Amino acid sequence: MPPTLATHTRAFLDYLKFQKRYSQHTLIAYQNDLDSFFVYLIAQFGEMELQEIKVAFVRSWLAELKSAGMESKSINRKISALKSFFKYHLREETISTTPMAGIISPKVKKRLPQFVDNEAIRVLFENVEFPDDWDGKTQRLLLELFYNTGMRQAELIGLKETQVDGSGNTIKVLGKGSKERVIPVSPALMGRLREYMTDKNRVFAQCDRVVLLVTASGKKLYPGYIYNTVKKYLALVTTIDKKSPHVLRHTFATHLMNSGADLNAVKELLGHSSLAATQVYTHNSIEKLKDVYKKAHPKA
């Protein structure tokens, strides 16, 4: 990549990191999308300055992605990255026009988020036996936290003991963009959290004393550990295709909506920045109503 393009990319990523306070995972995604575009641009059209990039070049890249079989959702993410990049440089007056003005995002077929039904969740926590060791204790607790709070995987990994408020039965979660939200939990779950923290400090001579959940070696949890745990235990109680931590987040929200929770309240609990992101769960509620109608109404 030419030095000037690399410099412009670094300035944008620094803005996202220090001003917008995006996570490292998000920064890597932005960088990969931008690098992919610039590699294509140079290979097809040669080296150029930022202000020389035309809308036709962007369309050519998007057509290449489409012909390679990339899904519309992934293409839209790349379009979003480019729009943010050029919008930043417009504001910084590095460029006077943006090549993204004529770019239209492809339509994405809406898919309802998968979730675990109530009976499967009941079986998971009432009938499934967890190992009588530290891993078993940690694995059950992380599953309970996902289902009872709807927090994201990164939020759970970074959850600190100090974020657990035993007197108020709440957990303070640090979400995307360093936004804080407070999630209430049941007294029963809070009791298990207290017991876990006490046991952790007693069992381990040396462990990560800051984070809440740790592995059997006293180390901070990592994505692979969490994903494998969720996949293993959900496979015991459900046949849905996806068995990931995010499915438990979907399950948390869907069960709340199906029980009549207010949409704005669910939005706040999930830490969504807009109501549009939360409204997808209303569709699951509607589908449940349709199913009840078909099963119960004699004329259905």
Tens-digit pLDDT profile for residues 130-187? 999 999 999 999 999 999 999 999 999 999 999 999 999 999 999 887 889 999 999 9
Does 226 fall in a domain? yes
pLDDT in tens, 212-236: 999 999 999 999 999 999 999 999 9
Same structural domain, 270 and 210: yes
249 is catalytic: yes
Same structural domain, 157 and 84: no
Same structural domain, 252 and 135: yes
Of 142, 140, 186, nearest to 166 by C-alpha is: 186
194 is catalytic: no
What does the block give as tokens for 136?
């078993």
Instruction: State pTM to two decimals.
Output: 0.66
Neighbours of 232 (CB within 10 A): 11
256 pLDDT higher than 60: yes
250 is catalytic: no
Number of domains, the chain: 2
Q: Which of 91, 108, 130 is the last residue of a domain?
A: 91
Does 104 fall in a domain? no
Is the separation of the CB atoms in 183 and 149 below 8 Å?
yes
Same structural domain, 154 and 239: yes
Same structural domain, 73 and 191: no
Does 222 fall in a domain? yes
Q: Which domain holds residue 250?
A: 118-296
246 is catalytic: yes
Same structural domain, 72 and 126: no
Q: Which of 91, 107, 138 is the last residue of a domain?
A: 91
pLDDT in tens, 86-143: 999 999 999 999 999 989 998 877 777 899 999 999 999 999 999 999 999 999 999 9
Q: What angle do CA 107, 111, 67 make, to 5 degrees?
A: 45
Tell me the average pLDDT of the chain.
Answer: 91
**Sign of the torsion formed by the C-alpha atoms of 136, 142, 143 and 148:** positive
Q: Which of 152, 200, 243, 267 is catalytic?
A: 152
For tokens 């994903």, the residue is 227
Same structural domain, 289 and 180: yes
297 is catalytic: no
Does 289 fall in a domain? yes
Q: Which of 89, 140, 200, 249 is catalytic?
A: 249
77 is catalytic: no
